[in-house]
């Protein structure tokens, strides 16, 4: 087994973790270690976890760090080799035969080959990262077919021969664990389970991903989402829902809605199932945040950072006053 201690300038899990943070992905120490070892040992990385914890985003961020195109193979029930590997362009082959007449034409030339994700990753392994997304949604037959690819990183095309990759491609598989994967597939991978982040990390994720959310709002939304996840919901809010709910509520609050009303009106961003909505509806007041803070352009003014004003009042001030007003503010709920 060939081992690479350095991958595009990354010499340790800590360096990879720092690079992922630069790509706006806050990885745990364990995830960064698993990803680094998968790259160093040239093995696929298998990420499992409940929906919405950032498995796909992790793969995309690794691709960004490595400066590679992410080729995504979205799995589904009934997916077969033609969707994942290659197909012959049959209409173009027929047209070429008609145009050639009595002359010979090689209908199995590369120009007639439709390359799918697995073949693309083999042909250009240094430029691409292959993401096999939600492998648990495929059937056992496709999983068995995938074993050959992950074992030898080669593909056999009956009409032309076997294609070998001159370099092991970077491969990331994700699974929501709706079914158990075959043991042989697991043995070929470096494995890591991604759980929901801690409230502190999730608040940092909201601040990193959202464009206009204040720290107090991020913390309030994360606390509320964690209370929802403790309920027996069909589709608990994921991390992406946390980010989008914080942004949606901030937008509504900036338009004059009170914070409780802003969070309540934006609840469709967090909850995506009617049964979950009906189950929680009578208890929304206790689950939703009651207070937060609204971030606006004045947050970048160092003199304004020490001032605290309600979102509605601050919004009206923005509409009527310029940046040089600062004193007096003329709002009764202002504290310095």
- 23 vs 32: CA distance, rounded Å: 13
Local structure of residue 271 (DSSP, 8 states)? -
pLDDT at position 9 is 81
Percent of the chain at pLDDT > 70 equals 85
Stronger pLDDT, 335 or 148, i.e. the higher one: 148
Q: Is the pLDDT of residue 204 over 90?
A: yes
The pLDDT of 65-69, averaged and rounded, is 95
Cα dihedral sign, 321-327-330-335:
positive
The pLDDT of 250-276, averaged and rounded, is 91
pLDDT at position 1 is 58
Mean pLDDT (the chain, rounded): 84
**Measured at the alpha carbon of residue 30, what is the angle toward residues 213 and 18, in degrees to the nearest 5?**
55
Local structure of residue 306 (DSSP, 8 states)? G
Lowest mean pLDDT among 41-45, 149-153, 179-183, 300-304: 300-304
- 157 vs 164: CA distance, rounded Å: 11
pTM exceeds 0.85:
no
Q: Is the pLDDT of residue 50 over 90?
A: yes
The pLDDT of 63-89, averaged and rounded, is 93
Burial letters 253-283, b for 16+ CB under 10 A, else e: bbeebebbebbeebbebbbbeeebeeebeee
Confidence at 336, pLDDT banded by 50, 70, 90: very low
Based on the number of CB atoms within 10 Å of its own CB, is 209 exposed (0-12), middle (13-18) or buried (19 or more)?
buried
The pLDDT of 179-189, averaged and rounded, is 93
Confidence at 229, pLDDT banded by 50, 70, 90: very high
pLDDT digits (tens, 9 = 90+) for 3-23: 776 677 899 999 999 999 999
The pLDDT of 78-95, averaged and rounded, is 91
Q: Is the pLDDT of residue 298 over 50?
A: no
Stronger pLDDT, 311 or 152, i.e. the higher one: 152
The pLDDT of 235-259, averaged and rounded, is 92
């Amino acid at each position: 087994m060939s081992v690479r201690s350095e991958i595009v300038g990354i010499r340790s899990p800590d360096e990879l973790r720092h690079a992922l943070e630069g790509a706006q992905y806050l990885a745990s120490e364990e995830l960064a270690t698993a990803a680094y070892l998968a790259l160093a040992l040239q093995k696929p990385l298998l990420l499992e976890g409940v929906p919405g914890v950032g498995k796909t985003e992790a793969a995309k961020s690794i691709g960004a760090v490595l400066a590679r195109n992410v080729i995504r193979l979205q799995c589904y029930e009934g997916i077969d080799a033609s969707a994942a590997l290659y197909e012959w362009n049959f209409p173009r082959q027929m047209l070429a035969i008609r145009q050639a007449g009595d002359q010979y034409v090689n209908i199995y030339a590369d120009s007639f080959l439709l390359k799918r994700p697995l073949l693309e990753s083999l042909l250009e392994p240094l430029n691409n990262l292959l993401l096999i997304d939600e492998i648990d949604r495929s059937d056992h037959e496709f999983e068995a077919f995938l074993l050959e690819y992950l074992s030898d990183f080669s593909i056999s095309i009956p009409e032309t021969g076997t294609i070998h990759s001159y370099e092991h491609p970077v491969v990331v598989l994700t699974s929501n664990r709706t079914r158990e994967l075959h043991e042989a597939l697991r043995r070929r991978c470096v494995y890591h389970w991604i759980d929901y982040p801690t409230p502190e990390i999730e608040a940092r994720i909201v601040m990193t991903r959202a464009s206009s959310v204040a720290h107090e709002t991020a913390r309030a939304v994360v606390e509320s989402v964690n209370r929802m996840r403790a309920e027996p919901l069909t589709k608990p809010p994921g991390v992406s829902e946390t980010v989008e709910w914080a942004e949606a509520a901030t937008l509504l609050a900036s338009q004059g809605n009170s914070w409780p009303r802003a969070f309540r009106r934006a609840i469709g961003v967090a909850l995506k199932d009617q049964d979950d909505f009906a189950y929680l509806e009578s208890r929304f007041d206790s689950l939703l945040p009651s207070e937060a803070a609204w971030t606006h352009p004045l947050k970048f003014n160092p003199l304004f950072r020490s001032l605290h004003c309600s979102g509605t009042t601050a919004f009206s001030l923005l509409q009527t006053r310029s940046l040089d007003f600062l004193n007096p503010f003329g709002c009764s709920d202002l504290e310095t």
